[in-house]
Amino acid sequence: MKNYLFDENMKMADLILIKPSLILLLPRFNIPLGFGDKSVKELCRSHGISTDFFLIICNIYSFDNYVPSPDKVIATDMSMLDCYLEASHRYYLEQRLPHIANHISRMTCEMHGPAGEILRRFFEEYNSEVVAHFKYEEQNVFPHLKKLLANGKSGDYRIALYSPSHTNIEDKLDDLTQILFKYMPEDVKTYEAIGALFDILQLSEDLKKHSLIEEKVLIPYVEYLERNQER
Amino acid sequence: MKQKVLIAEPSQIIIEGLQSIVHDSNCLEVVSVIDDISMLEERVLAHRPDIIIINPGLLPYSSQMPATIELPEGVFSVALVYQYFEQAYLRNFDAVIDIRDSKQSILATLANIGNGTESKKNTASEVSELTKRERDILVLVAKGLMSKEIAEQLNISIHTVISHRKNITRKTGIKSVAGLAVYAMLNNLVGEQQTSEDGISHGE
């Protein structure tokens, strides 16, 4: 039956048994493997991470209907939020996207006619949209958050200017999966296409959680800091 | 297409009676029968019933009331009662059959509950072939035209264009303009030259 939300007394190893993809989050918190039977609380303490923050992220990734309440967000130590989001960006940009690009180029070089070029170009365009979106956040939103976290004062930027919507980016990734499994020309090697598809589905799931964190944690928290600043 | 029914009931007499009633209906078929609630989840997953007829007495009791059941979306629950239950409790079900109900009234209850799902089923099993008109519009979308421009070119209203575009997206599963352009090219609806400058490089 359904699991309860994770809590700080559970063993980290048990969390991962329940939701294996949580291992992808560990590098974003600088937590190495080999944590034995440590509980979430012990593990977070030994790495200087806010346990509540860590649990919010793990729970959002693990439970589809879970969204932390605004009160919970405000009451949580968010000092690592910017580092976490930046580390996620690095992971997508430096690990996942190049990996998928490799899959696609191996897959498309076998294809006859213009189809291969069409797909490659579609992915490249998607890739550059993601880069642009991340760049905006890194140049505007994250520095704003850092200033507010450091001294409660910010520059002129306001979070209201920011829309976390990755909708167009997400739609394109969804479209790519549809094209790959429904409309792929038959001359593509199945295992290459499956490999690409598997990685794309995984990235897509990860990115949807990432936008959820921006929408339900980042925005309400920065709004709260902005309100405090104006007082 | 017949509505699939799962029966969860401990009494063999009731099960057979219910099966015989359901059997006489043209739009229902019993796909599974269980007499133990622990099998419910697995059977629901395996048989994908549309309707579950369940004796609440099978459910575990807590504070003098049977528990409620959680079902996947689109699955309707019908309580089969032979004893008194609070109205508040019965409201947890989509419908209620009393063991003393007539055959007609039982079938009517089940038929009414099925009506709501009809539309959902149609969209799920609908053919995904695009119509000629939808293909024409897809080609123009892939070329990078906006809905307004398409409406002018084909001399139809913009609402018609939007409705065609919705159907195209529903049938192909593809939402972005760039994705639709790829679809159009892979299916040889347009040549590469026609779209390379517009559809592919300028998403909407």
B3-26 tens-digit pLDDT: 899 999 999 999 999 999 988 888
Q: Considering CB atoms only, which of A114, A122, A179 is closest to B192?
A: A114
Neighbours of A123 (CB within 10 A): 23
Does residue B46 fall inside a structural domain?
yes
Residue B194's pLDDT is what?
53
pTM reported for the whole predicted model: 0.67
Calculate the CA B40 to chain-centre distance. 20
Q: Are residues B85 and B186 in the same domain?
A: no
Residues of A within 8 A of B175 (CB-CB) are: 171, 174-175
Calculate helix-pair angle for A81-90, A142-151, nearest 10 degrees: 160
Say if CB B120 and CB B74 are below 8 A apart: yes
Instruction: Report CA Rg, chain B.
Output: 25
Q: Are residues A154 and A197 in the same domain?
A: yes
Whether the CB of B72 is below 8 Å from some CB of chain A: the reply is no
The terminus-to-terminus CA distance of chain A in angstroms comes to: 47
Q: Are residues B105 and B149 in the same domain?
A: no
Q: Are residues A124 and A156 in the same domain?
A: yes
Is beta strand B76-81 parallel, antiparallel or unpaired with respect to B3-8? Answer: unpaired
Does residue B204 fall inside a structural domain?
no
Tell me the backbone φ, ψ of residue A120, rounded to 5 degrees: -60, -45
Assign A111 a pLDDT band (cuts: 50, 70, 90): confident
Higher-confidence position of B99 and B117:
B99
At residue B199, does pLDDT exceed 70? Answer: no
Q: Are residues A32 and A104 in the same domain?
A: no
Average pLDDT over residues A97-125: 88
Residues of A within 8 A of B187 (CB-CB) are: 183
* CATH number of the domain where residue B156 is located: 1.10.10.10
Alpha carbon of B63: minimum distance to chain A alpha carbons (Å): 21
Neighbours of A3 (CB within 10 A): 10
Round to whole Å and give the CA distance between A120 and A111: 11
Residue B165 sits at the vertex; the CA angle it makes with B160 and B169, to the nearest 5 degrees, is: 150
What's the one-letter identity of residue B188?
Answer: N
Whether the CB of B200 is below 8 Å from some CB of chain A: the reply is yes
Q: Are residues B106 and B141 in the same domain?
A: no
Q: Are residues A101 and A141 in the same domain?
A: yes
Residue B114's pLDDT is what?
58
Question: Which of B67, B94, B125 is at the close of a domain?
Answer: B125
Q: Are residues B104 and B79 in the same domain?
A: yes
Higher-confidence position of B112 and A6:
A6
Does residue B61 fall inside a structural domain?
yes
Q: Considering CB atoms only, which of B175, B185, B186 is closest to A174?
A: B175
| Structure confidence by residue, pLDDT tens digits, A15-31 | 999 999 999 999 999 99
Q: Are residues B173 and B81 in the same domain?
A: no
Round to whole Å and give the CA distance between B184 and B172: 11
Calculate the CA B140 to chain-centre distance. 32
Q: Are residues A86 and A184 in the same domain?
A: yes
Assign B198 a pLDDT band (cuts: 50, 70, 90): very low
Residues of A within 8 A of B174 (CB-CB) are: 175, 178-179
At residue B196, does pLDDT exceed 50? Answer: no
Residues 6+ apart with CB under 8 A from B114: B3, B27, B28, B50, B51, B76
3-state class (DSSP) for residue B66:
strand
Does residue A73 fall inside a structural domain?
no
Does residue A3 fall inside a structural domain?
no
Round to whole Å and give the CA distance between B200 and B204: 10
Query: Residue A99 is encoded by which pair of tokens?
Result: 């990996």
Percent of chain A exceeding pLDDT 70 equals: 97
Domain that holds residue B116: 3-125
Round to whole Å and give the CA distance between A204 and A45: 31
Pinpoint the alpha helices (H) of chain A: 12-18, 40-46, 51-62, 70-75, 81-90, 97-108, 115-136, 142-151, 167-182, 190-213, 219-230
- Choose from A166-180, B54-68, B168-182 the range with maximum mean pLDDT: B168-182
Of B68, B127, B182, which to mutate for an interface test with A (greatest number of A Cβ within 10 Å)? B182
At residue A4, does pLDDT exceed 80? Answer: no
Higher-confidence position of B202 and B72:
B72
Assign A136 a pLDDT band (cuts: 50, 70, 90): very high
Residues 6+ apart with CB under 8 A from A138: A86, A89
Average pLDDT over residues B111-121: 58
* C-beta atoms of A179 and B174 within 8 A: yes
Farthest-apart Cα atoms in chain A, separation: 64
Q: Are residues B91 and B173 in the same domain?
A: no
Q: Are residues A176 and A110 in the same domain?
A: yes
Does residue A125 fall inside a structural domain?
yes
Domain that holds residue A150: 81-230
Number of domains composing chain B: 2
Residues 6+ apart with CB under 8 A from A123: A100, A101, A104, A176
Residue B127's pLDDT is what?
53
Residues of A within 8 A of B202 (CB-CB) are: none
| Structure confidence by residue, pLDDT tens digits, A181-224 | 788 777 777 788 888 889 999 999 999 999 999 999 999 999 99
- Which residues, listed in sequence order, are joined to residue B32 by a DSSP beta bridge? B6
Residue A113's pLDDT is what?
75
At residue B140, does pLDDT exceed 90? Answer: yes
Is beta strand B3-8 parallel, antiparallel or unpaired with respect to B28-34? Answer: parallel
Q: Are residues A62 and A85 in the same domain?
A: no
Percent of chain B exceeding pLDDT 70 equals: 84
At residue B179, does pLDDT exceed 70? Answer: yes
Q: Are residues A98 and A49 in the same domain?
A: no
Average pLDDT over residues B63-68: 72
Residue B75's pLDDT is what?
87
Average pLDDT over residues B79-99: 87
Residues of B within 8 A of A182 (CB-CB) are: 172-173
Number of domains composing chain A: 2
Query: Residue B93 is encoded by which pair of tokens?
Result: 């079900």
Assign A165 a pLDDT band (cuts: 50, 70, 90): low
Mean pLDDT score of chain A: 89
Residue numbers of B between 148 and 177 with CB closer than 8 Å to A? 172-176
* CATH number of the domain where residue B22 is located: 3.40.50.2300
Say if CB B61 and CB B67 are below 8 A apart: yes
Q: Are residues A110 and A206 in the same domain?
A: yes
Residue B92's pLDDT is what?
85
Say if CB A85 and CB A142 are below 8 A apart: yes
Question: Which of B77, B100, B125 is at the close of a domain?
Answer: B125
Q: Are residues B87 and B14 in the same domain?
A: yes
Round to whole Å and give the CA distance between A77 and A217: 12
Residue A191's pLDDT is what?
83
What is the secondary structure of A28-61 as a DSSP string?
GGT--S--TT-BHHHHHHHTT--HHHHHHHHHHH
